[in-house]
Structure 1
Amino acid sequence: MRQEAQAIVLAAGPGMRMTSLTSHTPKCLLPLGTLPMLCYPLHLLQQAGFSEVSVVVSEGQEQRVGKMVEQYGLKVDLDVAVVSTAHDPGTADSLRQIASKIKQRSVEEVVVISSDLVTDVALQDVLDQHRSRGADLTMLTSPTPSLQTTPPGPKSKTHLNSDIICTEAGSGRLVYAVAGGDYDECVTLQSSLLNCAAPLLLSASTQDAHLYVMKRWLFDYVLNKESPCADMGSLKAEILPHIVSCQFTDHSSNDKLGLSGAVEREEWDDLVKKYNSSVVPSRHHSLAHLQPPVCLTFHHPGLCVRANTLHTYWHLNRKINELFNQVYPNSEWQLRHPTAVIIERAQVSEDSVVGGGTMVCEKTNIASSVVGKHCRINPLVRLSSSVLGDHVTLASGCVIENSLILASVERKCVIKNCIVTDSNKIEEGKTYSGEVLEATQDFA
């Protein structure tokens, strides 16, 4: 029986903008609240009715990811696909590495989503619009999030430009898109855009959320070794702008998306027959009237944040207590896990998050913080406005403020506005402020 859609989560990214957080933990498994980051898009897909999800991971992570369903009470089957990240592949490169597995599926659409997306969008609404309006590509967009929290560590002047998104007023038709990292101070618009009948809305405050729905024929074209996409490494920065621009190319020829020289005529005919099951001849059967792709946006005004930078990752962790029911609805998962042990004389604020198997000892004060699973907070610790990863131990008498701690602090000290990923960097009785105490070996 033909399935409607296949879901693919891209989770092999190394997290280059996350400083040393990914030294020993891949980005997709970094804790967000008391759950790995990857759980959030998986739950989003589960809520939309997907029973099976393909997850693309880097080498060596397949077992850890494969156990997530059981560990965190998810109700989807994971098909874990492994890619080599030795040469830092882009998102499109990763998809090509697993193309044979994808092509085994008989589906109408392919949903591609990044493992770092945290959103309260109703994915079923995105799919419904995509199908009802006959779109070949639908991109999820949202307002660029406003981040009120300041991450720990040294203050950095590094700034990534906003995405530039141009749509047709009223219809939401996507007519131009450029990723934030692909321009300096200005962008150049194609003159062909002026031929649009409706007014255009050009925005630098709208983001591409890295969730896409594609018709299967278009997805096959993207992965085709003979297409213009073959040398494009990034789905967002290169392939999607190419697809969008094809709406304005000359289609007087018999080739959809300018496919002459990319896909043989016989191969294209086979694709038409394979993916158009209608007994009534459609526009795809007419060699003289092949149409350009229909590219639409689904604009979600609600919560939509990608945890792909230190700033956004910190922001989501600090806000997860108030956001959790929005981004992880209809779940029995508890942010203060019932297996956490909090000794009677310890004080833990209501807005703090405590993971399963964690021990909080007496005379300890925890305020507005996230504490991961299987941690041990020894007596006389003061922890405020901070985030602790999994399996972290804090020595007695430590004072931790506004810091991100992903390694044990086994010596009494004061840590303020710091990132700690290497316990060997900590000295007894010392005060640290605004530093990154990095791991000694990079994650590979």
Structure 2
Amino acid sequence: MQNWLEFQAVVMAAGKGSRIPEMTATKPKCLLPVGNKPMIYYPLKLLENAGFKETKIIVPDNYASDIQEEIDRLGFEMNLSFVPIPSDEDWGTADSLRHIADYITTDIIVLSCDLITNADLHQVLDVYRKHNASLVSLYFSPTQDEKCDFVIPGPKSKNKIEKDIIGYDSKTSRLLLMASASDFEETMPLSSALLNKCSNLSLCSKLLDAHLYVMKRWLVYYLVKDKNMSTLKGELLPFVVKKQLSKHSVNKNLDEMHLVDDIKPDIFSMSRESDIEYNIRSMSSFGDSADSGEIIKCYACVLDSYVGIRANILHDYCKINKIINKLNIDSGDEKDKISPEAEILSNQLDRDTCFVGPNTKIMEKTSIKNSSIGSRCTINPKTRITDCILMNGVIIEERCVLQNCIVCHDATISAGCELKDCLISGNFKVPSGGKHYNEVLTAMDRLMEI
């Protein structure tokens, strides 16, 4: 295993999962199951496969011990350090990065806990090195292998997917524009500086922003100076991408500027190379020197031969669980999908399409297909489960039929229930004999539409 000494890795795992509240009311988003592992396993495995030996994980203080306990069970060889942030404050990703600025001593790679991909991280890092970039952002193109048809549990509704408009040079991959499609109605103005900068501008609205960014260390220091920025994607990145097109003059008194707390930060001065960095780069024969005189350089790494999904909304969470078995993310180190600590008395469990967690008991006369069963679950006799996700501690009583349902942590499905295309929130108990279709059943003992 190599050690990427030029990078530090940071995984953002403090998100509250506000887009999937029924599933995150009792558990943090990063611990929601995908296949037979918690969601956060996959970005950590991505880093470990790339050779990283240590990673910082930003976690909410109210769930810090739960998250650490769960991750410790996963057996990573990396040194993982957990950094808690206040859960009662509305911190964004930039706030979290600012919080650990004193520990950042190299360039960094930042990624979200909900990113699940079979991509090779080396390709992103090589784009960063080749261009001596200030920032590289990872995007995925839709692929045929990624598409799958399924019904989302809960009330039927049209899924409005947020779209980003990404502009980049199709020849050099220079990232030149980041915007949200919702900010524009019918037309989107383009600046003359942008058009003059690039004659091969490609505008895309179907790329998935992976929320994986490789960036120079000075960008973290810039956040320390500009405390008004709260998010990376929404504020810092569009600002930096836009600034690379601006005319500038470098402030020579950079060291003096750092000593003044209330001075308005000058991004061009903060990005100025030291003398030794300039000499190393100017004498190097590696990389693209066409734009070597520019101070700020942003690039897009667009991958079209890999699957990449962010499981931060219900549609994508269901989607990744449908295809996770095909991604082979463990790179040959895949453990058994059926835990040896599970007690399985049924001979109708499809072991090729199902995941079963430890300390789960599946009784005889049960049929389970294409489903993920968490740990500490109990599945009683005369039950049929198809295309479902059962999280930890779920109890399914006798004579139940579940199809395409998500049953959250510690919920109970009482005897004789028939559920199809439903989402059952954590700690909720479905009364005996209930028949529910396309519903969300909440722990508030009532039905509520998303």
Q: TM-score, normalised by structure 2?
A: 0.86
> Aligned letter for 1:426?
V
Q: CA separation of 1:149/1:182 partners in 2, compared to 1, >3 Å: closer, same or farther?
A: farther
1:118 to 116, 119, 130: 116
Alignment of 1:153-232 (within 5 A): 153-179=154-180, 182-183=183-184, 186-221=187-222, 223-225=223-225, 227=226, 230-232=227-229
Q: Which residue identity does 2:443 align to in structure 1?
A: A
Q: Deviations over 1:384-441 (max 9, x none)?
A: 1111111211101111111001143241111111000145441111111111111339
Q: Deviations over 1:64-87 (max 9, x none)?
A: 222344311211121111111323
Q: Please report how far the alpha carbon of residue 278 of structure 1 lies from its aligned counterpart in structure 2 after TM superposition.
A: 4.3
Deviation of the 1:132 alpha carbon:
2.1
Aligned match of 1:291: 294
Q: Pick closer, same or farther for the CA change 1:244–1:47 going to 2, 3 Å.
A: same
Equivalent-residue separation in structure 2 for 1:201 and 1:268 (angstroms): 30
Q: Quote how far apart the aligned CAs of 1:254 are.
A: 4.1
Distance 1:339 1:291, change over 3 A: same
Q: Report deviation, 1:200.
A: 0.5
TM-aligned CA deviation for residue 89 of structure 1 = 2.0
Q: Look up the match of 1:428.
A: 432
CA contact (8 A) 2:343 2:359 kept: yes
Deviations 1:216-255 (A, max 9, x none): 122322x222x3xx31222111110100001111124548
- Measured in 1, the distance between the counterparts of 2:427 and 2:249 equals 65
Give the whole-Å Cα distance in 2 for the aligned partners of 1:166 and 1:205.
11
Residue 97 (structure 2) aligns with: 95
Aligned partners of 1:364 and 1:377: how far apart in 2?
8
2:350 aligned partner: 348
User: CA, structure 1 residues 179+29, in 2 after alignment: closer, same or farther (shift >3 Å)?
Assistant: farther
Q: Which of 236, 245, 248 lines up with 1:248 in the alignment?
A: 245
Q: Specify the alignment match of 2:366 in structure 1.
A: 364
Describe the shift of the 1:183–1:86 C-alpha distance in structure 2 as closer, same or farther (beyond 3 A). farther
- Residue in structure 1 matched with residue 135 of structure 2 by the alignment: 137
CA contact (8 A) 1:160 1:180 kept: no
CA 250–33 in structure 1, closer or farther in 2 if over 3 Å, else same:
same
- The SS at the match of 2:279 is coil
1:103 is paired with a residue whose SS is helix
8 Å contact from structure 1 (residues 165, 204) kept in 2: yes
C-alpha spacing 1:310/1:424, structure 2 compared with 1 (3 Å): closer
| Counterpart selection for 1:409 from 402, 409, 412 | 412
- Cα distance in 2, alignment partners of residues 11 and 174 from structure 1: 26
Match of 1:5 among 4, 7, 10: 7
CA contact (8 A) 2:428 2:442 kept: no
Q: Which amino acid aligns with 2:355?
A: V
Distance 1:140 1:268, change over 3 A: closer
Q: One-letter code of the match for 1:333?
A: K
Partner of 2:235: 238
Distance in 2 of aligned mates of 1:60 and 1:113? 21
Question: Does the aligned pair in 2 maintain the 1:167–1:176 contact within 8 Å?
Answer: yes
Is 2:413–2:429's contact at 8 Å kept on the other side of the alignment?
Answer: no
Name the SS for the 1:67 alignment partner. Answer: helix
CA pair 105-346 structure 1, distance change in 2 beyond 3 A: same
- The 1:2/1:354 distance shift into structure 2, 3 A limit, reads closer
Shifted more, 343-352 versus 10-19: the winner is: 343-352
Unpaired segments ≥5 residues, structure 1: 284-288
Relative to 1, partners in 2 of residues 1:299 and 1:424: Cα closer, same or farther, differing over 3 Å?
Answer: closer
Q: Is contact 2:412-2:429 (8 Å) kept?
A: no
User: Does the aligned pair in 1 maintain the 2:23–2:426 contact within 8 Å?
Assistant: no
Change (3 A) 1:171 1:255: farther
Q: Is 1:312 matched up with 2:309?
A: no
- Specify every segment of 5 or more residues in structure 2 that has no aligned partner in the other structure, as ranges: 283-291, 446-450
Contact 2:104/2:217, CA 8 A, preserved across alignment: no
Task: Tell me the secondary structure at the aligned position of residue 412 of structure 2.
Answer: coil
Paired positions, count: 421
Give, as a single letter, the amino acid of the residue that structure 2 aligns with 1:153: G
Please provide the CA RMSD for this pair: 2.8
TM-score (ref. length: structure 1): 0.87
SS of aligned partner of 1:316:
helix
Q: In structure 2, how many angstroms separate the alpha carbons of the residues matched to 1:58 and 1:135?
A: 31
Identity score, percent? 34
CA distance in 1 between partners of 2:368 and 2:426 (Å): 22
Per-residue deviation, 1:198: 3.0
Any idea what the Cα deviations from partners look like across 1:190-221, whole Å, max 9, x if unmatched?
A: 23111024311111111211000001122322
Measure the CA separation in 2 of the matches of 1:434 and 1:179.
31
Contact kept? 1:402, 1:416, Cα under 8 Å: yes
Give me the whole-angstrom Cα distance separating, in 1, the residues matched to 2:215 and 2:433: 56
Q: Deviations over 1:319-342 (max 9, x none)?
A: 22223x1x3324242222222222
